[in-house]
Amino acid sequence: MKILHIYKTEPDDTTKTLVNILSEGEEATEFELFKEEADYDNLLDLIFEHDKVITWW
């Protein structure tokens, strides 16, 4: 299963730990929405390429 993690803010240690647990044994991609140069066209493509999308606020 392909999982996409989208971060609205920079992840803290707890979030990173949860991401690692949820992604264990799976193909995971991370997208940093909080960065000014976030590529929204790429984000849209990634959403459709992955089986599961998790947003982290």
| Integer CA distances (angstroms), 27 to 36, 37, 50, in order | 26, 24, 9
DSSP state of 26: S
Q: What is the mean pLDDT of the chain?
A: 97
Q: How confident is the model at residue 23 (pLDDT cuts 50, 70, 90)?
A: very high
Longest dimension (CA), the chain: 31
pLDDT in tens, 28-49: 999 999 999 999 999 999 999 9
Output the pLDDT for position 42: 97
